[in-house]
Amino acid sequence: MRQTRKTASSEPRGQERPRASRAPAAAASAPGSSRARRPTAQARGGSGEAVRQSSAKQRPRQLSPRAQEVGPGEPPPELELLPPPPPPTPATPTSSVATLDLGDQRERWETFQKRQRLTFEGAAKLLLDTFEYQGLVKHTGGCHCGAVRFEVWASADLHIFDCNCSICKKKQNRHFIVPASRFKLLKGAESITTYTFNTHKAQHTFCKRCGVQSFYTPRSNPGGFGIAPHCLDEGTVRSVVIEEFNGSDWEKAMKEHKTIKNMSKE
């Protein structure tokens, strides 16, 4: 919709202007002459300031997209002013090499990223994993149906416990123990359910869909996880040593065992 800006000089074409409007400016300023000699100004408030204010009020306003879509011949809708644009958000520092002072190592770092084809975060993770889990390998695994998947950092040579307590004997719960910080659930938190009994300290977690227990929280190590080696993907296990644990007499076995309590510590 196009709007025409009105000014003090807009008058019907073909109509002669009053002669008083062509008088010199000195005569127009005489007392009592403003009414007869400035009819358009009188219609708009009687002063030049009022004309300027009226013209300013009639400037086209910014219309919303809805108001701009009205075609020719249609009644214009009520004008809607667009909301003011939101204030600019301050820039936040990003985790990139540009924000870090790497000194003489900047060129080596950029070359390392390009050679490994990694992002900044990926390169940092690779170096952290290599340093923090030195001597360990990353195993991956999960349940049978694939709803539950995890990764765990542990030795390639696994020390497996074969417990003969009432539940481990029935479900053949062979497992190796790792600290919680070395275990990461990749997916399937909503697919996991938990069974407890007796002291309710052991959290026997398993997939609700296929019933496979690929990991759980053992009573002996509540700060870690017991991982089922038979639920790991192939290719990362080098050797396996199996130790029998007399879980049927759990308190006595735990008291006599020298190392099992420390297996979930860093």
Q: Which residue has the higher pLDDT, 121 or 161?
A: 161
Most confident of 33-42, 88-97, 117-126, 139-148: 139-148
Band the pLDDT of 176: cuts 50, 70, 90: very high
Do residues 171 and 126 touch, judged by C-beta distance below 8 A?
A: no
Cβ count within 10 A of residue 205? 19
Strand partners, 84: none
Q: What is the mean pLDDT of residues 1-8?
A: 46
Per-residue pLDDT for 86 more than 70?
no
Per-residue pLDDT for 72 more than 60?
no
Pairing relation of β-strands 157-163 and 239-245? parallel
Supply the mean pLDDT for the chain. Answer: 76
Domain spans, the chain = 137-256
Give me the sign of the Cα torsion angle 211, 212, 215, 217. Answer: positive
* 96: CB partners within 8 A, 6+ apart: 120
Per-residue pLDDT for 220 more than 50?
yes
CATH of domain 137-256: 2.170.150.70
In sequence order, what DSSP letters do the residues of 149-195 get, joined into one string? EEEEEE-SEEEEEEE-SHHHHHHT-EEEEEEGGGEEEEE-GGGEEEE
Task: Say how far apart CA 3 and CA 232 lie, in whole Å.
Answer: 74
Most confident of 7-16, 29-38, 200-209: 200-209
Per-residue pLDDT for 261 more than 90?
no
Q: Environment class of residue 96 by beta-carbon count within 10 Å: exposed (0-12), middle (13-18) or buried (19+)?
A: exposed
120-149 pLDDT, tens digit each: 888 888 888 878 788 899 999 999 999 999
Residue type, 74: E
Task: Say how far apart CA 163 and CA 250 lie, in whole Å.
Answer: 10
Do residues 206 and 212 touch, judged by C-beta distance below 8 A?
A: yes
* pLDDT value of position 109: 85
Q: Give percent above pLDDT 70 in the chain.
A: 63
Q: What is the mean pLDDT of residues 167-173?
A: 90
Name the H helices within the chain: 25-28, 34-37, 39-43, 48-57, 65-68, 106-116, 120-132, 166-171, 250-256
CA distances from 67 to 2, 73, 83, 86, 222 (A): 11, 14, 14, 21, 65
Q: Which residue has the higher pLDDT, 172 or 70?
A: 172
234-251 pLDDT, tens digit each: 999 999 999 999 888 888
Q: What is the mean pLDDT of residues 14-31?
A: 46
> Could you give the count of Cα atoms lying within 13 Å of 163 in the half-sphere of its Cβ?
24
3-state SS class at 79: coil
Q: Which of 39-43, 120-124, 177-181 has the lowest mean pLDDT?
A: 39-43
